Structure 1
């Protein structure tokens, strides 16, 4: 990764919201793990796992939107092709697994 200087554009409130989303997803995943340990019904485990995955995907989308609205705007203004290229690669990776 190259060292971009646009770190300071992240809104602390938005970051907090994303951290909260991740904490919720982690908590949710922990409860799925307990379900498996307690030998709960497979169907129920899969349904909960799907919910966790969906929460993670939504968090990814939120991060993406935030990144586009802050960092990429500045990258375009600065003519920072590299930042745009990196975002494209990140989107490809993210979409592949969703």
Structure 2
């Protein structure tokens, strides 16, 4: 994916986010294998629910990291309007 925004500051939770996404990726592959094997639908749905919860928790971590780093940095640099606009747009896309 192309990245229009280059950050000039550290995201403290970046490694944690990447690790969580790797675990989720493995979980998805496991659920796909369950579907290939014809496992019971309730089992598959339970695993999908677990993946959704893991994704939501990862999104919360990203949002928290953003608030603690990007927003604070924006205030120091005087561009809080742009950052607030970006976070509102991101939230609109995430929460539909």
Match of 1:45 in 2: 44
Give the paired residue count: 93
Find the aligned partners of 1:2 and 1:58 in 2 and give their Cα distance: 25
Deviations 1:43-67 (A, max 9, x none): 1101100100110111001000001
Match of 1:63 in 2: 62
TM-score (norm: length of structure 2): 0.87
Name structure 2 gaps, 5 residues minimum.
none
RMSD: 1.6
Find the aligned partners of 1:15 and 1:47 in 2 and give their Cα distance: 28
Match of 2:9 in 1: 8
Deviation at 1:95, TM superposition (A): 1.7
Deviations 1:66-96 (A, max 9, x none): 0110001111232311111001110121122
Name structure 1 gaps, 5 residues minimum.
none
Deviating beyond 3 angstroms after TM superposition, the runs of 4 or more aligned structure 1 residues are: 1-4
Say which structure is richer in helix: 1
